[in-house]
Amino acid sequence: MSNYNSLTDNELLILIQAGDRRAFEEIYERFNGLLYIYACKLVSEREDAKDIVQEIFVYLWSNPDIKIKSQLSAYLYTAVRYKVFDWLDKNKSKSNYLLSLKNFAELGDCITDDYIREKEFASIIEKEISLLPPKMRQIFEMSRQQHLSQKEIAEILHLSDKTVKKQMSNALKVLRLKLTSFISIAIILFVR
């Protein structure tokens, strides 16, 4: 395979897990600079930030059996954050840096982190919508994506207004139930 830059992160990850060095180099090229910038915002010394990022890539390459349940980018940014906490413990300057990290988070400079979470949440919502029963999903998508009224949907699908209303209500209940647990977990993980 010669054109690695056209592959998705997850396709490259599968190749990395099979021992493909070029796939690893492509992931390194995609994320090294971004992760370094992110790490520099979390620690004061650039060399420390560089070491933290290098440790993440060494771990990724040397652990082919690693299970990543989210997007690779989200995993890498989270790994940097946790590696920073490890680094803080080892360097016994935890309180100063944690205060700095807290200030950093409060100032809202976690734009990259927020963007990744937003993309992941949108992906989860899309997945849950795709799991709705076909007719319910169709009605929900016509309402939310095509911005059609219940009356318009009923006319197009030759259904009663009541049926459309009930299907929308059921779709929202299902999504609310599934997404509430995700939101609770996300709040616990990301608002520390």
State whether the Cα torsion 49-54-55-57 is positive or negative. positive
Rounded Cα–Cα distance for residues 132 and 107 (Å): 39
Residues 42, 56 within the same domain: yes
Residues 101, 122 within the same domain: no
Token pair, residue 18, equals 């099979």
Residues 70, 121 within the same domain: no
Residues 67, 117 within the same domain: no
- Split at pLDDT 50, 70, 90, the class of 28 is very high
User: Domain boundary at 56, 74, 108, which?
Assistant: 108
- Split at pLDDT 50, 70, 90, the class of 1 is very low
- The mean pLDDT of 53-72, rounded to a whole number, is 87
Residues 74, 63 within the same domain: yes
Q: Which domain holds residue 52?
A: 1-108
Q: What pLDDT score was predicted for residue 32?
A: 92
- The mean pLDDT of 126-150, rounded to a whole number, is 84
Residues 137, 82 within the same domain: no
CATH number at residue 127: 1.10.10.10
Which residue do the tokens 């795709």 mark? 130
Residues 3, 98 within the same domain: yes
**What's the number of domains the chain is made of?**
2
Residues 115, 175 within the same domain: yes
Buried b (16+ CB within 10 A) or exposed e, 69-88: eebbbbbbbbbbbebbeebb
The Cβ of residue 61 has, within 10 Å, a number of other Cβ atoms equal to 16
Residues 11, 77 within the same domain: yes
Residues 47, 122 within the same domain: no
Say whether pLDDT at 142 is over 50: yes
Supply the angle between the helices 150-157 and 134-144 in degrees, to the nearest 10.
130
Q: What are phi and psi of 19, to 5 degrees?
A: 90, 15
pLDDT (tens digit per residue) in 76-125: 988 998 888 888 777 655 556 566 666 666 665 455 666 676 777 777 77
Q: What pLDDT score was predicted for residue 163?
A: 92
- Split at pLDDT 50, 70, 90, the class of 192 is very low
Rounded Cα–Cα distance for residues 182 and 157 (Å): 32
Rounded Cα–Cα distance for residues 4 and 15 (Å): 10
**What is the pTM (predicted TM-score) of this model?**
0.47
